[in-house]
Amino acid sequence: MNRDNTPPPVLPAELPPDAPRGFMARFRNYFLTGLVVAGPIAITFYLTWWFVTWVDGLVRPFVPIAYRPETYLPFGLPGSGLIVAVIALTLLGFLTANLIGRTLVDLGEKLLGRIPAVRAIYRGLKQVFETLFSGQGSSFRRVGLVEFPSPGMWSIVLISQAPSEEVANNLPGQEEHISVFLPCAPNPTTGFFFYVPRSKIIEVDMSAEDAATLIMSCGVVQPGSDGQKKVAALAGMAEAARVANSGTLQPEAAKVE
């Protein structure tokens, strides 16, 4: 109230300071919202398509022409090679489970074991596949932090198994060591493998999938973040811009009338 008891003038409602204005601001928000929604879907479909065509290219030459779908269809059928590969691997596992298949596999392993160069590669790959796909054990299923590459700097590692007796006996100190794999960003398939004392590892309550996502995104996507919330936030900003611009245009429209 003023001194003459006149009420203060009513000011128009001010827009939030963070509300973007103008056509370009709305265009930017809409574009970012569409990019956040369509980007992951497009990349997922692209990687799936690449994998399917890659498997088709490997399997199709082994399939007789009479059994290929394109022989009877006017177009190729993507994924036919992948279906054949899945069926073939399932049959191979079924045959290996019985006595005859087990005997044949043992015979093949003995033949490969007599080749010096191939023996080490085959045994190493077999142990890796048995560990990763057996569904047992905890290799690369636990995530930890290790002080690397210098004191005060911490890196995410995937915890593997304890070293063998031969390696453990040659490691310095009396403390138990553990083997870890430190993936590199943004390609987690490459990295460093080393042994570290168990007390130097800080185990983190995080899944291996979340750790891989964190590494591939170089820290942009943090564990526990919800992508849908980000999309909703961008959509909210776009809606706020639309409302703000429509609100500023209403007085002008009233004047014209």
Q: List % helix, strand, coil for the chain (3-state, nearest 5).
A: 55, 10, 30
- pLDDT score recorded for residue 226: 56
**What band does 15 get if pLDDT is binned at 50, 70 and 90?**
very low
- pLDDT score recorded for residue 254: 43
Checking if the pLDDT of 13 tops 50, the result is no
Q: Evaluate the CA torsion angle 10, 11, 17, 22 in order and state its sign.
A: positive
- pLDDT score recorded for residue 185: 82
Higher pLDDT, 136 or 146: 146
User: What pTM was estimated for this model as a whole?
Assistant: 0.54
**What band does 10 get if pLDDT is binned at 50, 70 and 90?**
very low
- pLDDT score recorded for residue 136: 55
Cα–Cα distance for residue pair 172/37, rounded to 1 Å: 52
Q: Mean pLDDT over residues 234-239, rounded?
A: 59
- pLDDT score recorded for residue 39: 85
Low-confidence winner among 22-31, 109-118, 224-233, 248-257 (lowest mean pLDDT): 248-257
Q: Mean pLDDT over residues 171-190, rounded?
A: 84
Cα–Cα distance for residue pair 156/213, rounded to 1 Å: 12
- pLDDT score recorded for residue 183: 87
pLDDT, averaged across the chain = 76
Q: Which residues contact 163 (CB under 8 A, 6 or more apart)?
A: 171, 177, 178, 179, 195
Checking if the pLDDT of 239 tops 80, the result is no
